[in-house]
Structure 1
Amino acid sequence: MAARRLAWVTGAGSGIGRALAERLGQTGWRVAVSARTQADLDSLAVPGVIYPFVLDVTDNAAVAATVAQITKEMGDIDLVVLGAGIYEPIMAQGFDRDAFARTLDVNVMGTVNCLNAIMPAMIGRRDGHIAVMASVAGFVGLPGASAYGASKAALNVMAEALEPDLERHNVRISIINPGFVDTPLTRKNDFPMPFLITTDAAVDAIMRGLERPRFEIIFPWQMAVAMKLLALLPHRLRLTITRRMVR
């Protein structure tokens, strides 16, 4: 009997990452899950289905060791979903350099560390699928999201730049751009969130997207259309709209 496919999900302690790991496990995958908090992973673990690996993705050596451990104990990783991320609202008044640096370190360099550990093996065996969790916040500069939006814009550009090269090696890369999803991250927001969807709805969209040969997985469609159109506007018009978002 062929071994079940193996996925690795980072940022699996809560939110979309946790719900996606559970769904993958329910649909026949073996799932290695990583997050910084042991208790979160212990409550997610399912014997023979979901396996916990505590990890801080900003520690490059630890990421490499974790990937090596997963591969040794469970086999080749077929799908990796890089979902580890943080969000800290940052405005011009009270601008916080350290919070900005933390956001880039986790969201961008944490993802880079994982790619550095996972891509060589996938390229070597000419097989695998990488999914990077970004956000529609990376399309336009939104008040309060200077660090978060910058990190997600970086992930979008990075994935798009890697796609043609990875395609030559028969490795897929997808970028996931959610709108507002009801998670502990978005509950920090103190403003109305248009087109807010549940975590289950987000996971439905991601699962459909992972099965299709598309580069971008973006949802919900209403937020996707709104943000894509906003990004197309000249700066004068776009800034007129975003100025109204300042509280």
Structure 2
Amino acid sequence: MGVWSEVMAPGDGVAWVTGASAGIGRETALELCARGWRVAVTARKAEALEALAEEARTQGLAGAILPFAGDVTDQAGMAALVAAIEAEHGPLALCLLNAGVYIPMRAQEFDAGVVAKTFAVNVQGVANCLDPVLKSMIARRRGHVAITASVAGYRGLPRAAAYGATKAALIHMAEALAYDLIDLNVRISVVNPGFVETEATSVNDFKMPFVMKPDQAARRIVDGLEGPGFEIAFPRRFALILRTLGLLPNRAYLAVMRKLMGWGPDVS
């Protein structure tokens, strides 16, 4: 069985989900538990993780959620946290590096501080987790790590100057790592969701096409982790539309996206 099709199972070790206090991360942790995994969960708010563990207990999954509070922007802290998870609960077989922030920004509001904050969490935060996780998985020549990016990383989208740039960086990072990880028997996936109803997207003041609930997104993610392939993109129609639009020449692409936002098509 090739590395692209090898599926980690609960008997292979423990799962780890970052950004697990709310939204996609929280629901994915619960979905993994429902499918038999013990799941280490990380977020900055320890009380939110304890509440998640209690919810799992009420669902008959006592001990399935393992809270490990931490901040993904703390490089040394993430290395210590991964070591603690493995020392206490066994090898990390499956990781979903999901922690992220979304701060919409147009040119009129461009703020270098917002860009720095977004990259610190969305890109450097993932790198801080990848570092110890890959070291562990490569040493064992076994494991599966998935990175939550976004369809916003395909091409530039309105109001996503910072967010979309980080997601494009994550897609590129995952693709670049895949070249080596194939030979090291470690699987890497990239998760590219469309719009999901979360606290982060609640700031959007436009109609979000094909919007999904967090539990729906979680099922799509875990289904994808249990299947072959590199990219887990959903909703599939939305991802296909954006992929197709992305093939347009720059001027045509910008005109179409401006029109869809109601800003007018003129890019002359």
Task: Specify if TM > 0.5.
Answer: yes
Whether 2:223 is the aligned partner of 1:217: answer no
Equivalents in 2 of 1:204, 1:119: separation in Å? Answer: 25
Equivalents in 2 of 1:4, 1:96: separation in Å? Answer: 45
Whether 2:45 is the aligned partner of 1:40: answer no
Quote the RMSD (CA, aligned, Å): 1.3
Q: Is the contact between residue 95 and residue 145 of structure 2 (CA under 8 Å) also seen in structure 1?
A: yes
Structure 2 segments unaligned to the other structure (5+ residues):
1-9, 264-268
Give 1:46-195 correspondences, 5 Å limit.
Answer: 46=57, 47-195=62-210
Whether 2:212 is the aligned partner of 1:197: answer yes
Equivalents in 1 of 2:38, 2:47: separation in Å? Answer: 20
Structure 1 segments unaligned to the other structure (5+ residues):
none
* Cα shift at 1:48: 1.5
Equivalents in 1 of 2:110, 2:170: separation in Å? Answer: 23
State the SS of the aligned residue for 1:86: coil
* Count of residue correspondences: 246
Q: Is the contact between residue 4 and residue 29 of structure 1 (CA under 8 Å) also seen in structure 2?
A: no
| Residue identity matched to 1:203 | A
State the SS of the aligned residue for 1:177: strand
Whether 2:15 is the aligned partner of 1:7: answer yes
Whether 2:30 is the aligned partner of 1:22: answer yes
Equivalents in 1 of 2:42, 2:70: separation in Å? Answer: 6
State the SS of the aligned residue for 1:93: helix
With the length of structure 2 as denominator, give the TM-score of the two structures.
0.89
| Residue identity matched to 2:43 | A
| Residue identity matched to 2:202 | R
Q: Is the contact between residue 12 and residue 93 of structure 2 (CA under 8 Å) also seen in structure 1?
A: no
| Residue identity matched to 2:98 | G
* Cα shift at 1:243: 2.3
Deviation string 1:121-170 (CA, Å, 9 cap, x unpaired) is 10011100000000000011111100000000000000001012011011
Corresponding residue for residue 206 of structure 1: 221
Q: Is the contact between residue 4 and residue 28 of structure 1 (CA under 8 Å) also seen in structure 2?
A: no
Q: Is the contact between residue 143 and residue 246 of structure 1 (CA under 8 Å) also seen in structure 2?
A: no
* Cα shift at 1:242: 2.1
State the SS of the aligned residue for 1:78: strand
Q: Is the contact between residue 89 and residue 144 of structure 1 (CA under 8 Å) also seen in structure 2?
A: yes
| Residue identity matched to 1:101 | A
